[in-house]
Amino acid sequence: MVVGGLDLAAYEHRCSGFAVVDEEDKTLKELLCLYSDADIVNKVKLLSIEVLAVDAPIAEHPRFREVDREAIRRGFRVLPPTFKYMKMLTVRAWRLYNEFKSMGIMVIETHPRSALINSGSNNVIELCNSLGISIGHHIDKNKISHKDLRDALISSLVAFCYKKKTYIESIEAEDGTIYIIAPLK
């Protein structure tokens, strides 16, 4: 059983970070950039992802949501879906969300920076260690310094916690839910 994290880019010519964690052997299996919607959908389908945590607003219309306000009230620095590139990101995220939903994949929204901060971890390696997730030997450790891939890895850890129903918290409002990792310390 595998879960995934997607740091979705607003435009297909930019890297959308993608990470996959095997929940049984607690290992990071994939960490790479994907570009087109078709590449993302095909990879998720090929790997039989059960839960996908997406770093993007999952909303039908790009607008400042109550869930964004609640996140800001709680001290998290989220960008509202009203900026130009955020509008594009929201449209793309909604399209992919519907595609994945039709495939029976559970898609949740996350905010990696907020998840990392809330966990109490200083960096993604410390977060992996705290959750007992090892980084596969075939994964180039230098990739983790790439922001899109680091955020995808954190997103996959949120999906892992969500699936395991442990160390997971949510920021909720009537128009959405953002999942983050609960304090580990």
Q: pLDDT digit string (tens) for 142-153?
A: 888 899 999 999
Give the model's pLDDT for residue 94: 96
Instruction: Tell me the one-letter amino acid at 139.
Output: I
Give the model's pLDDT for residue 82: 67
Give yes or no for a contact between 49 and 3, defined as CB atoms under 8 angstroms apart.
yes
- Average the pLDDT over 63-74 and give the result: 88
- Average the pLDDT over 14-28 and give the result: 96
Q: Would the pLDDT of 87 be above 90?
A: no
Q: Where are the domains of the chain?
A: 2-181
Q: Would the pLDDT of 19 be above 90?
A: yes
What is the band of 80 on the pLDDT scale with cuts at 50, 70, 90?
A: low
Bridge partners of residue 107, in order along the sequence: 52
**Which class is 2-181 in CATH?**
alpha beta
Give the model's pLDDT for residue 81: 62
Give the model's pLDDT for residue 102: 97
